[in-house]
Structure 1
Amino acid sequence: MSSHYMIFGKDDCPYTQKARTDFKKQCKPFIYVNVDNNPHGLEKMLEYSEGQYIVPVIVDVDKGDVVIGYTD
């Protein structure tokens, strides 16, 4: 069974852009939440990251795994 992901990030963040590009190339299904214009999304991201304002935050929705930051 493949996992589904949420990527919390910002449009002007190169790491967020890289994560989104890589997930598309790998055909990993994800929902992107831009925390710059989504206050509820920012709140959720901060819950997942335990208050750390670092993007991207990538959540494996099915497994509950959380990765803060992205290097590939």
Structure 2
Amino acid sequence: MTAIEIYTRPGCGYCSAAKSLLSRKKATFTEFDIAKNPTWRQEMYDRAGAGSTFPQIFIGTTHVGGCDELYALDREGKLDVMLNGQKAS
């Protein structure tokens, strides 16, 4: 599977929903919880753009965006393709 990284914060329902979907897909992901390391917030902004909301999700080299975008990829049948290391068309 492709490397998955997700930036989260405590108490974020969208973060929980995104992690739940990835877990249902049996996708292994690396979580960057900004409560555990505040420098990850700036790292997220550097990668996703200042003012980005939580969560921010990266699959391989692709910036997916947030929870809504992740679920949209799933509805369109593109998420499984991305999780298996292929480009979604």
Do Structure 1 and Structure 2 share a fold, with TM-score over 0.5?
A: yes
Runs of 4+ in 1 over 6 A off after TM superposition: none
* Larger RCO: 1 or 2 (CA < 8 Å, sep 6+): 1
TM-score by length of 1: 0.83
More strand by percentage: 1
Q: What displacement does 1:44 show?
A: 1.2
Cα distance per residue 1:36-68 (max 9 Å; x no partner): 3312211211111111230100011x3x11122
User: Where do 5+ consecutive residues of structure 1 fail to align?
Assistant: none
Q: Any idea what SS the aligned residue of 1:59 has?
A: strand
The answer (yes or no) to whether the contact 1:8–1:57 under 8 Å persists in 2 is yes
Structure 2: 5+ residue runs without aligned partners? 72-89
Between the aligned residues of both structures, percent identity stands at 17
- Equivalent pair of 1:36/1:42 in contact (CA under 8 Å): no
Q: Considering only aligned residues, what root-mean-square deviation do their CA atoms show, in Å? A: 1.3
**Separation (CA, whole Å) in 2 of partners of 1:21 and 1:58:** 13
